[in-house]
Amino acid sequence: MDAKGIARFSKYAIVGISTLLLDLGLLFVLTDGLGLYPVISAGVAFIIAVTVNYLLCRRYVFRGSTRGMGEGYVGFLIIAGTGLALVTGGMHLLVTRLGWHYMACRLIIAAITGLWEYLLNLYVNFRVAGKHV
């Protein structure tokens, strides 16, 4: 990875960590505050956070995208859908089946989905791999 790629990934990590904090805050409020089942809370929080993530990524990370706003958002949502499947499936497995704490599970899953979604957005959705930062 060259310096431009490292800079882009660093921006993505900052945006990702910020929206992960939003995701975790929503997860906590929905689960502990409103009493929703953690798997449902994780899905709702993820969808809200991923929308904010798209807007921030489009503005600060993947500038120079060859896709329009609407088309890019649809692509982002499709990729996020795979992330949502990983989040809810992973939460079900780790919380329901293994009995782990829901916050610890969400952090583990965030690391996996974050890298997965970055690579798909870089190469497939925004199509900016190898372009300027």
In a domain, 132, yes or no: no
Tokens of 24: 């975790």
Number of structural domains found in the chain: 1
The reported pLDDT for the residue numbered 1 is: 67
Q: How far is CA 84 from the centre of its chain?
A: 8
Identify the band that residue 131 occupies on the pLDDT scale cut at 50, 70 and 90: low
Higher pLDDT, 12 or 126: 12
In a domain, 105, yes or no: yes
CB 9 within 8 A of CB 1: yes
Mean pLDDT in residue range 80-109: 90
The reported pLDDT for the residue numbered 50 is: 85
The reported pLDDT for the residue numbered 133 is: 47
The reported pLDDT for the residue numbered 18 is: 95
In a domain, 27, yes or no: yes
pLDDT in tens, 56-81: 998 888 887 777 888 888 888 899 88
Is pTM beyond 0.85 here? no
Sign of the torsion formed by the C-alpha atoms of 50, 56, 59 and 64 = negative
Give me the domain span that covers residue 11. Answer: 3-125
In a domain, 81, yes or no: yes
pLDDT in tens, 40-60: 998 899 889 988 999 999 888
CB 131 within 8 A of CB 85: no
